[in-house]
Amino acid sequence: MKVVTGVVGNDIHVVANRLMELSLHARGYEVFNLGVNTHLEEFFDAVVETGAEILLISSLNGEAEGWSREVRMLKAKYKDLDNLVMMIGGNLTVGAGKADEIEKKYKKYGFDLVCHQVDLNTGLDSLEAFLAQRN
């Protein structure tokens, strides 16, 4: 399965992104890693270009909130993205926040899976559970 991944916005925290690539590979995905400092349009462009079924966004430095408000609007501009599985993880808020409230908020923004401060592999496990359930 094809996955597009990267770190959103002006965020340059690269360590988790490198590990993410390793983990996805190990799990048998075909990975298109856009790296850090990737803006929303670039993610959607890459999804369209590669025909990926999954978009996996990281955010570590607290910017996610600002960008995610624009997700639905932007996504609507593209065709054929209705079945795209959208996942986001990392530090999804500035300062401390409650995981359940954060999850609710990001689901409203258009994400199917929200992993605030969840370990990479736990997160990818829940992705696989999600995919299994959907089929």
Residues at the interface with ligand B12 (CB under 6 A): 10-16, 19, 56, 58, 60-62, 87, 89-91, 94-95, 115, 117-120, 123
Which residue in 19, 28, 82 sits closest to 55, CA to CA? Answer: 82
**CA gap 68, 49 in Å, rounded:** 21
Which residues in 21-80 contact another protein (CB under 8 A)?
22, 35-37, 61-63, 65-66
Residue with tokens 């996955």: 3
From the CB of 99, what's the least distance to another protein, in Å? Answer: 11
Q: Which two tokens stand for residue 16?
A: 């988790």
SS3 content of the chain, % helix, strand, coil (to 5): 45, 20, 35
From the CB of 26, what's the least distance to another protein, in Å? Answer: 9
What is the distance, to the nearest Å, from the Cα of residue 99 to the centroid of all Cα atoms in its chain? Answer: 16
Which residues in 113-132 contact another protein (CB under 8 A)?
117
**Binder of residue 52, out of another protein, ligand B12, none (CB less than 5 to 8 A by kind):** none
Q: Which two tokens stand for residue 133?
A: 């359930």
Q: Which residues bind another protein (CB under 8 A)?
A: 10-15, 18-19, 22, 35-37, 61-63, 65-66, 91, 93-97, 117
